[in-house]
Structure 1
């Protein structure tokens, strides 16, 4: 294929991505009208002008088309005082060429890592370069369908005690082309202590961080810049440990896509241990700041959630399970209930591996 044809194709793809609504307003309304979505409460807030800037940080790697769709959905927001910080993790799919077409908009900034370092590193780079009072961590394949979301959020943040706003999303399973959502059954303001204590149990974590807006100083106080694992759960918890209130909004504001490129197939023991170290750090901050009673029970629950995630998303070897199990025994207070549960999970994995060996 000639260079001319490649450029023409790129130009055509660029225009298509920037001009289309991935889930257009009619489709959105039809989804909302379905009986199972009737309970969704749509927020009505007055649109006002304000000088508060929102920084949207987007790590990206080899998803130039989805990235453009994501940026397009941000540019359509009625609230215009934002910056988009794209951190490219050494893409090889002409991402830089595509993004260069957007840089005439001075709200869009493009950074490129010197070497491939993973999305967590890219999020930290974007955070360090951000200048907004509020922060969104957005994956390159997420996109918004509520054009008033930023305006609504800025109005909610007029309450100076609000640390975090969480909203709901559709999950788009691209292979089946189906949209689903989790009815969080809650729509109100809640104190951080209550939310954090029941995080991922009574109050479920949103699918992604793009539907959450953080007050930046809360993330600074949570020492985000020194995090090793900057993933969804850890970001939420770091934003909560400095206190305040959380606004939980049941309104669906965007779409989280599930496709072959973002499904986790293999999780290593070292990844899980880093995750557990992060939760132990949060536990220590909870104890230090006396956020709530029952911190030991909270840590046990969080370790259990992490362990279940490993079994759900991967097929760990016995060696990996033992490595994780030994770390837990060495680094926790050996809560007997947790140990029993983890022992049962370990037996489950052993039986599963034996079954696979003889099938």
Structure 2
């Protein structure tokens, strides 16, 4: 096993406070046959200088310094530069357990797999805790071998970290640098689809840093720029559907199960947050957001019809909240809001339709009552003021 080289790819951007712990965790691994590839993505702090000092005695480290082009471009550069039989990605503000690479390499070779996945813990630098969705869906709770068609809970670990990839999974598989949000999901999806067996361990091997509000990572800022991020997510949904559909190693039913499993995860984790963020936007931005979603329904595109009609999490979270949070919809967005609710409702089964339509009628009735109440309140106020002046 020790003859197998592992290339560890780390894109870096303004992480001077964290890069030492990250690199030290790589350089002190129990497994030593490691190629370390660092790509400084145009840092404006001391990240590059610190990285050079820490790795100065390492004989198998490559450092690239490029103009800022985003993590996808940096990871792709790392893939092209790598020589290892296996590849691992680590974010520059995170770190590994001491035996992370040895553990993953052991289970990937023993089970004759192309992909291995370990447990991720969140950390703030003082304490560690489980990733809520990983714990909820038991992503890595039990050691063993899984495949994505039967274990769609693996989609809740759709980031590139905490995994060891055989280099063959990366052939003609790159990160989409045109996306600035969730750019890594299609990459991981393709590796899942190409792996008929995925080795899983419950051992914690990866520590994902949760930063404070004043120094948040890109991932923790994804709920901002809601309209642009919504467009990215919808593009990813369409690409994911096409990617799954063209796979030849799965049945039609398995493809549908995988697609619904993926969009259930996407709905619960990303799409739901974007909808919630939109409720805090201005009326014009709310209307633009709803119009983008409505357009997908009216076009009748299969990926989105399945999302709106058969995704359990879309109904459970977004559609329910879309109706429940009606009082947060600003007046300029109300017409398209009602149209969106109406068109999503039409895609539901008969029993759901009557329930949802009744709820919409109650919402509209309540809106009318609110309107007349405001008029009554204003009139009462002015009548009182007028009465005081007459006296």
Q: Please tell me the TM-score bracket, short chain as reference.
A: 0.7 to 0.9
Partners of 1:251 and 1:240 lie apart in 2 by 20
- 1:348 is displaced (CA, Å) by 5.1
* 1:212 alignment partner in structure 2: 163
Partners of 2:103 and 2:265 lie apart in 1 by 32
* 1:302 alignment partner in structure 2: 262
Alpha-carbon contact 2:111-2:145 (below 8 Å) kept: no
Match of 2:199 among 247, 253, 260: 247
* 2:328 alignment partner in structure 1: 352
* 2:66 alignment partner in structure 1: 113
**Gap regions ≥5 residues in structure 2:** 279-284, 334-369, 371-391
Alpha-carbon contact 1:139-1:210 (below 8 Å) kept: yes
* 2:277 alignment partner in structure 1: 315
1:332 is the counterpart of 2:288 = no
- 1:337 is displaced (CA, Å) by 1.8
How many residues of Structure 1 are paired with residues of Structure 2 in the alignment? 299
- 1:344 is displaced (CA, Å) by 4.6
Match of 1:190 among 129, 142, 146: 146
**Residues 281 and 256 from structure 1, CA distance in 2 versus in 1: closer, same or farther, beyond 3 angstroms?**
same
* 2:113 alignment partner in structure 1: 162
Q: Secondary structure at the match of 1:84?
A: strand
- Residues 251-290 of structure 1 mapped to structure 2, 5 A cutoff: 251-260=203-212, 261-262=216-217, 263-264=220-221, 265-290=223-248
- 1:297 is displaced (CA, Å) by 5.1
**Residues 79 and 329 from structure 1, CA distance in 2 versus in 1: closer, same or farther, beyond 3 angstroms?**
farther
Q: Secondary structure at the match of 1:136?
A: strand
- Residues 72-83 of structure 1 mapped to structure 2, 5 A cutoff: 72-83=24-35
Structure 1, 131-140 or 98-107: larger mean CA deviation: 98-107
Match of 2:129 among 170, 173, 180: 180
The Cα RMSD (Å) is 3.1
Partners of 1:288 and 1:71 lie apart in 2 by 39
Partners of 1:328 and 1:67 lie apart in 2 by 45
- 1:164 is displaced (CA, Å) by 1.2
Partners of 2:52 and 2:119 lie apart in 1 by 32
* 1:86 alignment partner in structure 2: 38
Partners of 1:173 and 1:136 lie apart in 2 by 23
Larger radius of gyration: 2
Please state which structure has a larger fraction of its residues in helix.
2
Alpha-carbon contact 1:53-1:81 (below 8 Å) kept: yes
Q: Secondary structure at the match of 2:201?
A: strand
Partners of 1:112 and 1:70 lie apart in 2 by 18
Relative contact order higher in (CA < 8 Å, ≥ 6 apart): 1
- 1:137 is displaced (CA, Å) by 1.3
Q: Secondary structure at the match of 2:149?
A: helix
Q: Secondary structure at the match of 1:193?
A: coil
TM-score by length of 2: 0.67
Provide Cα deviations, 1:25-57, integer angstroms capped at 9, x if missing partner.
xxxxxxxxxxxxxxxxxxxxxxxx522111111
